[in-house]
Structures are given as structure tokens and as C-alpha cells.
Amino acid sequence: MSATGSETTTDRPIEHPRVGLFVTCLADIYRPNVGLAAVALLEKVGCSVEVPQTQTCCGQPSYNNGDLAGAARTARNTIEAFEDFDYVVVPSGSCAGMLHDYPRLFESEPGWQQRARAMAGKTHELISFLTDVRGLDAVDASFARAVTYHDSCHGLRALGIKEQPRRLLASVGGLELRELNDSEICCGFGGTFCVKYPEISGRMVADKADAIAATGAKVVLGGDLGCLLNIAGRLGREGGGVSVYHVAEVLAGMADVPGLGDPPGSGGRSR
């Protein structure tokens, strides 16, 4: 794995790039607010955002379960939908990492591999795109809570995302970041791993919940919805009143809705 996250295809920044938002299947179904937050943030940094209607899933379920031909089929759909944009932006390190891996799916199809490579070169995870490509270092939002942050593994290790969300969070009015002990340790989600080995996965997420409790923060943020659903699921079961948001929701000032798995009509304190 290499830090390809900050690669750009152009030397000079484009003033108003056309950005294709790959919203991810989980955000599309579970958390449209993350997509809206992503659009708001991207527009703030001068992008014109489009959402191709033919997008579906990035293909990780197939890829990580050994069905490479299936993953390639899904990947072709994504490439066709996104290859014409200046950038492809994804509010998930895991799915962005998957798009970076697309060329591997076409070892025996040079034409597709070329297209996959070209698209991978302009694909970015949302937060690192805002900071590293668009030079954003502060946002105009406030969220007067103590929060903690979980570093999702794929974003952290495949894309080198660590400091970027912290830099932006530092500019959020009233927000206090309490670092999580073992923030770089996997939460136990792992895609289908969490249902194939639920007991092991359950132990891992319980450990994560303990570490969260130890910070005393009542809000957890992260950049990957898979991990966040897992963490929110465990915290909900424990009933300790800790809310979970995607970091983009807070950065866009859109965490004024209930957290993941919180009862509708509750919570949400940002402006």
C-alpha cells in the first residue's frame, strides 16, 4: 500500500474543477446527510459538483471476498460513470482506496486497465481532497461539543489520512477534540468480516467502545461509514448516550440531525 491519496493529475490547480461525487452505497442508503455535507464542502472550495445517476457500489464486497470478476463488473460501471470528471471524490477512505485498486482488476484487459488507472489518478477521499488538493485549512462551522476521532484503517494506511481531518476540526468553533487511545486500531468492521466472524468483530468493537468511553467525549467522528455504523451499533447497544457522525457532517455545519442510530428527532447541536 502506498500513499497515493494526494496524487493529482494536473500540475496547476484547476480553478473550478468538475467533481464527480461518488457518494458510496452506504452513505446513499444509510446517511444521505453525508452526501449533502460532501456537496456543501466541495462547493465551498470552488468545485462544481455532479452526481452521476448510474453510480452504485465500489465493488469491495466482491473484491475482498475473492470474486475478482464480479468486482471488475462493478468497477466498469463506476469507471463509465466517472472517468470524464476532473476529479472523483469519495466520502470514504475505504471506497476511495478501492477505486485506486481498480487497475489490479484488469490485468488481462489493457484497455480497461488504462481507463482504471486514469480514473484512479484523479480519485480522492473527501477530507484529504479538501486539504491537500484544494488547500482548505479552516471551515466555517461550529459544534460546541467534546468529540473523539477514530482513524479508519483504509484511509489511514492506504491513503495516509491522519492529520487532515484534525486540521479542519481544529477550526470548528467550540469543538474540543479528545484523542482516542488506540485510534489507529481497527474497529472490527472489515466489510463482510463483521458478519462472518461476529464474535471476533464484536470483541473488537467492544474494545473500541471502551476506548471511546475513556475519553469522556459524547460524540465520535470518523471518515468511513462502514466503521461508523459498526461503532454506532455497539454504542447504541451499550446505551451510553454517545452519538456518531461522519466528520464531513460536522465540518459542513450539518450535524444538526440525529447521530447514526439515534432516535429521529433527537440530538444535533451544530448550527
The footprint of another protein on residues 62-81 (CB under 8 A) is 62-68, 70-71, 73-74, 76-77, 81
Smallest gap from Cβ 37 to another protein, in A, equals 10
In whole angstroms, how close is the CB of 265 to another protein at the nearest point?
Answer: 8
How far is residue 54 from each of residues 51, 80, 105, 158, 194, measured CA to CA in Å? 9, 9, 20, 26, 28
Neighbour tally for 112: CB within 10 Å: 18
Restricting to residues 87-106, which ones interact with another protein according to CB under 8 A? none
Span of 11-19, 35-43, 130-138, 160-168 interacting with another protein by CB under 8 A: 35-43
Quote the least distance from Cβ 181 to another protein, whole Å. Answer: 10
Contact 122, 85 (CB under 8 A): yes
Asked if residue 153 binds another protein (CB under 8 A), the reply is: yes
Segment holding 98, helix H or strand E: helix 93-105
Is there binding between residue 258 and another protein (CB under 8 A)?
yes
Binding mask 236-255 for another protein (x = CB under 8 A): xx------x-----------
What does the alpha-carbon distance between residue 75 and residue 101 come to, in Å, rounded to a whole number? 10
Q: Is 229 helix (H, G, I), strand (E, B) or coil?
A: helix
Span 164-223, contacts to another protein by CB under 8 A: 184-186, 188-207
Residue 24 Cβ vs another protein, minimum distance, rounded to whole Å: 9
- b/e 43-58 (16+ beta carbons within 10 angstroms → b): eebebebeebeebebb
40 contacts another protein (rule: CB under 8 A): no
Q: Which of 36, 118, 146, 211 touches another protein (CB under 8 A)?
A: 36
Alpha carbon distance 137, 18 (integer Å)? 21
Three-point CA angle 173, 177, 183, nearest 5°: 150
Nearer to another protein, 159 or 169 (CB): 159
